[in-house]
Amino acid sequence: MIYPPEISVVLPVYNGEKHIKNCILSILNQSFKNFELIIINDGSTDQTVSLISSFSDDRLKLVTQENTGIGGALRRGCNVAVGKYILRIDADDICLPNRFIVQKHFLDSRPNVVMLGGASIYVDEEGLEIGRSYPYTSNFILKSMLIKYSPFCHPTVIFRKNAYIEAGGYQALEPLEDVDLWLKLSKLGEIKNLCSPVIKNTIVGNSISRSISIK
């Protein structure tokens, strides 16, 4: 890893033993290599920490804390991040192999874009594909939609660290910590979605973000 890395991956996890290993493998095996992986263990009580500790890679940083919820976990992870870009993923999702290079290239070539999401391939808990998303991509439409709800799949998002800091970061506003940040980022520049998938998104699971969304 070249220091500082260009991308900081922020991965919060709570009791994610079923999927965390495959999620980490999908990150470490990316075609783009210059990144750090910051895993925030948000008070897990299962084998999550043991599984994370089984990886030997100097790009992986494990931070363990008492359970605070996803807003607090994300804020801590982003505060630790040193990359130019912060990229999000959840513990029960899988990054497609070229995700990092595709999203990084998009932001590198469009300095006016502060945040970028993407489409998802939907899978069940056994990993079987059951569909995909077709997100809106227009900056104008996305900003208009934010007034009512989030048009972004949270674990597909990557954003600029400097814009994140200027926006004030994630707040403990579950389940609206993502929409709150997107609204603030949208005032600093353009927001976009890629029409092509960047992750495999597990639609039923125990990720801390999804459990809050269900409630």
pLDDT bucket at 125, cuts 50 / 70 / 90: confident
Note the pTM of the prediction, 2 decimals: 0.92
- pLDDT value for 17: 95
Q: What mean pLDDT comes out for the span 145-167?
A: 96
Q: Phi/psi at 23 (nearest 5 deg)?
A: -65, -50
Q: What mean pLDDT comes out for the span 100-117?
A: 98
- pLDDT value for 212: 37
Q: How many CB atoms lie within 10 A of CB 89?
A: 26
| CA–CA distance, 109 with 172 (Å, rounded to integer) | 33
Residue matched to tokens 């505060």: 79
- pLDDT value for 175: 78
Which residues does residue 192 pair with via DSSP β-bridges, in sequence order? 116
Judged against a pLDDT cut of 70, whether residue 76 lies above it is answered with yes
pLDDT bucket at 214, cuts 50 / 70 / 90: very low
Residue matched to tokens 């600029």: 160
pLDDT bucket at 211, cuts 50 / 70 / 90: very low
pLDDT in tens, 26-70: 999 999 999 999 999 999 999 999 999 999 999 999 999 999 999
Q: To the nearest 10°, the Cα dihedral for 102, 107, 109, 113?
A: 140
Judged against a pLDDT cut of 80, whether residue 206 lies above it is answered with no
| CA–CA distance, 89 with 194 (Å, rounded to integer) | 16
Q: What mean pLDDT comes out for the span 84-90?
A: 98
